[in-house]
Amino acid sequence: MSYLTLSITLVFVLIPLVLSKTLNLGLEKDTIIATVRSIIQLLAVGYVLQYVFDAEHFIFITLMILLMIGAATQNARRKGASIKGITWKLIVTFIFIEVLTQGILLGLNITPPTAQYIIPISGMVIGNSMVLGILFLNRFTSEIETHQDETELILSLGGTPKQAIHNQLIASIKASTIPTIESQKTIGLVQLPGMMSGQIIAGADPVQAVQFQLLILFLLLTTAVVTSIMLGFLSYPTLFNERMQFLKLKDGES
Amino acid sequence: MDTTTKPAVEFRNVNYSADELHILKNITGTFPEGKITTLVGPSGAGKSTLFKLCNGLRSPQSGDILIKNKSINDYDPVELRRNVGIALQSATMIKGSVLENLELPLALQSKSIDHDFAEELLHDVGLQGDFLHRNAKDLSGGQRQKLSIARTLVNRPKILLLDEITSSLDRVSQHDIEELIEKINEKYGTTMIWITHNLKQALDIGHYTWVMMNGEVIETGESSILHSPKNERVQQFVKGELE
């Protein structure tokens, strides 16, 4: 696609702008900011990726992954700001997910150890893990606040912190992972995944595109479940002190 | 306060604050072993907070609490809470049946409840045995309160803290619970500490009483002190002039 053709696609930005203006929706400013940011960010990433792919150096690949983890942490931590030490818990989770998935992919020779494979797959894994982290933290903090009485009841009867928070933890893990599992049930019927569509448009063999998409879907299942469970089990102990007393959540966006 | 009976719970210069509020101010005093002590006072006096300190759900910033002459800090929290039972005014239930709620203290120890024991407990608090399989969410406020007491009794606590457990009950149910409190106290020698707004209950059932106001203990002694309190504010409270 040429830059001229790309510029014509801006008509898809004009449509919401005109509608917003006509109906006084007030979305013009945010739409323009989002458009400009996406153009700059994606073009910058495109050039950076081109350089990293050409250089094919371990350091650059690592730096790219660290950058993704940093950005994902920055984005997700706001939803768990009321949980003590959430930044480190997110970093540890994202690193673990990355090491686990790439360890399996590279260790079993499923994908080649090149930047062209490692970076896009890492992006999808960390991005999905970030979304799952946000979903989990959102639900978990809300469950904790709603069920404070139940938590204290179990503690008062001689239950441990793990027993006292068990129901809220399980409900949050389930609620955050269900969308991933459910969307996979209808994939291919309702929607064609973005990566697969992109490959097909770029001229790849549809069957091969499907094979890669399946690989990603399976990866995302692991990512979803492991992220929620790990964040949950890293987070709940900080809700209690050494005397097994339930601590109030810090004030923060939740 | 009684000097001949051993204290089951002793407060020594206890202070507790939360959210920059000084809730309990220099509390000192004892709750005699095997006796019923009522805790009376206007709302916001710090009575429920004092209970949470006894059960180890909160810790004081200064001072010490002794349970059976041993500092509360020297107890394992789980052991402490099984021995110092608490039935709260909120009578919180977990999702599930009456049986599941009754079994909760044992389920937390990976044990199950004997069916006859469960029925006996329900009978003791004035609930029918056929309640066992009802959904706890369908119970009335009074029935939940009774179930909450029965659930606390499952651990057979040595000290029982009862937080306004009769406030949502009708007169007949209140009488049932008053009888139950006396029965448990006599049968098992359980030390009872009971927060109540009903001064008649304090006089009729309680052996001793603590009067608390604004986080302070104002008067303590045998329940009969409520007939002729020395403190002017307590006199006003007893006359119903303070809420």
pLDDT for the residue numbered A254 = 36
Count CB pairs under 8 A between chains A and B. 57
Query: Is the Cβ pair A163, B94 closer than 8 Å?
Result: no
Q: Please name the residues between 198 and 227 in chain B that touch chain A, using a CB distance below 8 Å.
A: none
A251 touches chain B (CB under 8 A): no
CA distance B178 to chain A (A): 22
- Give me the pLDDT at residue A191, please: 66
* Low-confidence winner among A195-204, B128-137, B176-185 (lowest mean pLDDT): A195-204
- Contact call for B56 and A244, based on CB within 8 A: yes
Contacts of A53 (CB under 8 A, 6+ apart): A114, A115, A116, A119
pLDDT value of residue A89: 96
- The residue behind tokens 């469950």 is A143
User: For A66-97, how does the pLDDT look when each residue is reduced to its tens digit (9 = 90+)?
Assistant: 999 999 999 899 888 889 999 999 999 999 99
Distance from CA of B37 to the nearest CA of A (A): 20
Nearest residue on chain B to A244, alpha-carbon basis? B77
Other beta carbons less than 10 A from residue B20's beta carbon: 5
Can you tell me the distance from the alpha carbon of A10 to that of A3, in angstroms, rounded to the nearest whole number? 11
Q: Do B88 and A243 touch (CB under 8 A)?
A: no
Identify whether the C-beta of residue A118 lies closer than 8 Å to the C-beta of residue B57: no
When divided into structural domains, chain B yields a total of 1
Q: Which of the residues B59, B64, B92 would you substitute to probe the A interface, choosing the one with the greatest number of A C-beta atoms within 10 Å?
A: B92
Torsional sign, CA A98, A104, A110, A115? positive
Query: Closest Cα to residue B32, out of B54, B4, B62?
Result: B4
**How far is the alpha carbon of A93 from chain B, nearest alpha carbon, in Å?**
30
Nearest to B86 among A156, A160, A163 (CB): A156
CA distances from A52 to A56, A101, A114 (A): 6, 21, 10
Flag whether residue B156 sits within 8 Å of chain A, measured between CB atoms.
no
Is the Cβ–Cβ distance between B155 and A158 less than 8 Å? yes
ipTM: 0.92
Residue B190 has pLDDT above 60, yes or no: yes
User: Residue B4: pLDDT band by 50, 70, 90 thresholds?
Assistant: low
Q: What is the mean pLDDT of chain B?
A: 91
pLDDT recorded at residue B174 = 87
Put simply, whether A86 touches B (Cβ < 8 Å) is no
Token readout for A186 is 């209808």
> With bands split at pLDDT 50, 70 and 90, how would you rate the model's confidence at B167?
confident
Q: Are B146 and B178 a contacting pair, CB within 8 Å?
A: no
> Among residues of chain A, what percentage have pLDDT more than 90?
66
In angstroms, the separation between the Cα of residue B203 and the nearest Cα of chain A is 28
CA distance A58 to chain B (A): 50
Residue of higher predicted confidence among B99 and A193: B99
Look at residue B82 and tell me whether its pLDDT is greater than 90: yes
What is the pLDDT at residue B3? 53
Task: Report DSSP letters for A122-161, one per residue.
Answer: HHHHHHHHHHHHHHHHHHHHHHHHHTHHHHHHHHHTT--H
First CA to last CA across chain B, in angstroms? Answer: 25
Distance CA B107, CA B100 (A): 9
Q: In what order do the strands lie in the sheet with B62-67?
A: B21-32, B7-18, B62-67, B70-71
E strand or H helix at B61: none
Distance CA B229, CA B4 (A): 22
The pLDDT confidence band at residue A253, using thresholds 50, 70 and 90, is very low
Domain interval for residue B101: 7-238
- Maximum Cα interatomic distance, chain A, rounded to a whole number of Å: 70
Question: Among all chains, which residue has been given the structure tokens 């269900």?
Answer: A178
Distance CA B143, CA B122 (A): 10
Domain contains B87: yes
DSSP chain A: --HHHHHHTTHHHHHHHHHHHHTT---HHHHHHHHHHHHHHHHHHHHHHHHHHHH--HHHHHHHHHHHHHHHHHHHHGGGTTSTTHHHHHHHHHHHHHHHHHHHHHHTTSS-SSHHHHHHHHHHHHHHHHHHHHHHHHHHHHHHHHTHHHHHHHHHTT--HHHHHHHHHHHHHHHHHHHHHHHHHSBTTTB--HHHHHHHHTT--HHHHHHHHHHHHHHHHHHHHHHHHHHHHHHGGGGB-TT-PBPPPPS---
Backbone angles phi, psi at B66, to 5 degrees: -110, 130
Q: How far apart are CA A72 and CA A90, in angstroms?
A: 9
| Between residues B88 and B8, the one the model is more confident about | B8
The rounded distance, in Å, linking the Cα atoms of B208 and B227 is 13
> Of A146, A178, A163, nearest to A237 (Cα)?
A163
In order of A65, A76, B115, the CA distances from A49 in angstroms are: 12, 24, 67
Dump strand ranges (E) for B174-237: 191-195, 208-213, 216-222
Residue B67 corresponds to which tokens in the numbers above? 């349970």
- Give me the mean pLDDT over the A92-116 stretch: 95
Asked whether A219 and A125 are in contact (CB, 8 A), the reply is yes
Binary contact (B82, A154; C-beta < 8 A): no
Q: What is the pLDDT of residues B151-161, one digit of tens each?
A: 999 999 999 99
What is the average per-residue pLDDT within B164-192? 87
Q: Where are the domains of chain A?
A: 1-55, 56-239
CATH code, domain with B121: 3.40.50.300
Do A157 and B92 count as a contact with CB atoms less than 8 A apart?
no
- Residue B17 inside a domain? The answer is yes
Q: How confident is the model at residue A56 (pLDDT cuts 50, 70, 90)?
A: confident
**Tokens 């790849």 found at:** A204
pLDDT of A166 > 90? The answer is yes
Residue B243 resides in a domain: no
Whole-number pLDDT of residue B100: 96
Higher per-residue pLDDT: B17 or A186: B17
| Residue B41 confidence class, pLDDT cut points 50, 70, 90 | very high
Q: Does B77 touch chain A (CB under 8 A)?
A: yes
Q: What is the mean pLDDT of residues A209-231?
A: 91
